[in-house]
Amino acid sequence: MQNQKILILNFGGQYDQLIARRVRECNVYCEVKPYTMTLQEIKDFNPIGIIFTGGPDSVYKENSYHPAEGIFELNIPILGICYSCQLLAHHLGGKVVAAGEDNAREYGKTITFYDNTCLLFEDLPEEGVSWMSHGDYMEKVPKGFKLTAHSEKCPNVAICDEDRMFYGVQFHPEVNHTANGKKMIRNFLYKVCNAVGDWTMEGYMHRCVEEIRQKVGTGQVLLALSGGVDSSVCAALFAEAIGKQLTCVFVDHGLLRKKEGDEVEAAFRRWDIHLIRVDAKERFLNRLAGVTEPEQKRKIIGEEFIRVFEEEGKKIGQTDFLAQGTIYPDVIESGKENAETIKSHHNVGGLPDFVDFKEIIEPLRLLFKDEVRELGKQLKLPKYMVMRQPFPGPGLAIRIIGEVTEEKLEILREADAIFRDEIEKADLENSMNQYFAALTNMKTVGVMGDGRTYDWAIALRSVTTEDFMTADWTRIPYEVLDRVSSRIVNEVPHVNRVLYDITSKPPSTVEFE
Ligand code: XMP
């Protein structure tokens, strides 16, 4: 059975993914498509409602973006946001002009007054902050529409034509700055589009398992398991669906955190699958010997990973399908809507043209990260695995500044495990997005008992961020830092100093290398 679907047509706005997430959070399935979608494609998609995103342009400009002709005659509810509110006005007989400084140009948080008789604003407060970002103004509202919100500067903040089920808002209900924005989206979905809320991860899991079984038949599937959230959930889904027909290759490059390799292996033992854990520790360390330059380390690790995977693939022989954990943000960002156009190495850094497979299957390609985590929980993967913070492919090698050796890896693993343990004990792990220890390339003088020491300095790093493009250092309480520091110097041999990194990104990066 198919889910009800909302279509999000992207007119070049920045918040397309955010709108999609809000809709999914309301248990309604949706997809983001470019505004160039044809009328026939829209009909084939068969949405219960369409949301037009914002866009950077002015609707009256020559090359601005417009939807397929005939879209307003489909008898499907439409919600136009920001640029697209003006798009509704422009196409349906209103008039949009450039706003002047004092009549209607608005940026940022703006007190807005809502007409609660409009379905979009039903059961909401009459007044609240909304997030505006528009330089144009609906001078004339189209015939058949009524005004449903205003602000101090702008009389025309929202419009609707309830008979034709068209709604427009100049502000952005999808961003958190708009008070009750999510409720407005929910109202559109449930009160205007008559959504039933049939999008749940449990339902998705059952359907996905069924689809995988049908597609794979008696074939064989190969999957590169890294232990990260996406590849783990992908593996669990295939394991559930086809058991023994799945082969997971887990390349243990020896640059993992304490116990991590064993944890990954243990988590997948409950399924009857072929799990190949390749112990390639020595091989990676040999190749990294004497290498200090960060980018060179990354390159060596990436290359070596592919070599090991290739060798294992050859041993296995003919495989029909390659499974990958590509997720929806990767798909939207790369603008690739079509599974066939995504090459095998799109997601895993150079994987593997050599394996003789018929097709790539990417069952997570329509899911957001939080949905992937939810699916992992449904599949009964352990919580620590599903909620795990990001861990870079090159692993601890880029957290050891300078040359990587077994001795340094051992020190770092212990220090990092203590840091993570204390953060969990203090119940702080959900208040930070990534936290870890790094081994500086610096030895310093210390004193222990009556003796002088000359040992390594460990650096702790923790960041709070939404997208990892920018990040703030986390204000960890001093008493927690104190416990971490004293445990590390007491429990980890050859460490006599602990530093806490208090730089944000930019100018720093999250990782040290
Ligand atoms: P930076 O250090 O660039 O990190 O601020 C941002 C995010 O990306 C992760 N990261 C990597 N992930 N391979 C990966 O798979 C890499 O080479 C790599 N470098 C950084 C980092 O852990 C953080 O989440």
> Which residue's CA lies nearest to atom 10 of ligand 1?
392
- For 201-386, give the CATH class: alpha beta
The tokens of 98 are what?
């450039």
Topology at the third CATH level for domain 5-192: Rossmann fold (3.40.50)
Q: Are 105 and 75 in contact (CB under 8 A)?
A: no
Task: Report the C-alpha gap between 89 and 145 in whole angstroms.
Answer: 9
pLDDT above 90 for 346: no
Q: Given 174, 362, 371, 513, which residue is catalytic?
A: 174
Determine the distance separating the centroid of ligand 1 and the alpha carbon of 360, expressed in angstroms.
26
Q: Are 436 and 425 in contact (CB under 8 A)?
A: no
pLDDT above 50 for 234: yes
| Residue 354: per-residue pLDDT | 54
The verdict on the CB of residue 501 being under 6 Å from ligand 1 is no
Q: How confident is the model at residue 227 (pLDDT cuts 50, 70, 90)?
A: confident
Q: How confident is the model at residue 449 (pLDDT cuts 50, 70, 90)?
A: confident
| Residue 334: per-residue pLDDT | 61
Residue 298 alpha carbon, nearest atom of ligand 1:
17
The architecture in CATH of the region 399-500 reads 2-Layer Sandwich (3.30)
**What pLDDT digit, counting tens, does each position of 264-283 carry?**
999 998 888 999 999 999 99
pLDDT above 90 for 101: no
**What pLDDT digit, counting tens, does each position of 15-28 carry?**
888 899 999 999 99
**Per-residue DSSP letters for 27-39?**
T-EEEEEETT--H
pLDDT above 60 for 353: no
Q: How confident is the model at residue 104 (pLDDT cuts 50, 70, 90)?
A: low
HSE-CB of 365 using CA atoms within 13 angstroms: 19
Determine the distance separating the centroid of ligand 1 and the alpha carbon of 217, expressed in angstroms.
37
Residue 508 alpha carbon, nearest atom of ligand 1:
5
The tokens of 354 are what?
């050599």
| Residue 138: per-residue pLDDT | 85
Peptide bond connecting 125 to the previous residue in cis, omega within 30 degrees of 0:
no
Boundaries of CATH 3.40.50.880 in the chain? Answer: 5-192
**What pLDDT digit, counting tens, does each position of 304-340 carry?**
988 888 888 888 888 889 898 888 877 776 654 433 3
Q: Does 342 or 499 have the greater pLDDT score?
A: 499
Looking at residue 180, the DSSP 8-state letter turns out to be T
> Which residue's CA lies nearest to atom 12 of ligand 1?
392
Sign of CA dihedral 379, 259, 245, 360: positive
The verdict on the CB of residue 298 being under 6 Å from ligand 1 is yes
Please indicate whether residue 160 is annotated as part of the active site: no
The verdict on the CB of residue 503 being under 6 Å from ligand 1 is no
The verdict on the CB of residue 510 being under 6 Å from ligand 1 is yes
Q: Which residues contact 21 (CB under 8 A, 6 or more apart)?
A: 368, 370
The verdict on the CB of residue 468 being under 6 Å from ligand 1 is yes
The verdict on the CB of residue 347 being under 6 Å from ligand 1 is no
> What value does the mean pLDDT of the chain take?
91
Q: What percent of the chain has pLDDT over 90?
A: 71
| Average pLDDT over every residue of 145-167 | 94
pLDDT above 60 for 350: no
3-state helix, strand, coil in the chain (%, to 5): 35, 25, 40
| Residue 339: per-residue pLDDT | 33
pLDDT above 90 for 144: yes
Boundaries of CATH 3.40.50.620 in the chain? Answer: 201-386
The verdict on the CB of residue 511 being under 6 Å from ligand 1 is yes
> Which residue's CA lies nearest to atom 22 of ligand 1?
392
* DSSP H or E segment with residue 285: helix 281-288
| Average pLDDT over every residue of 4-10 | 97
Determine the distance separating the centroid of ligand 1 and the alpha carbon of 365, expressed in angstroms.
21
Please indicate whether residue 479 is annotated as part of the active site: no
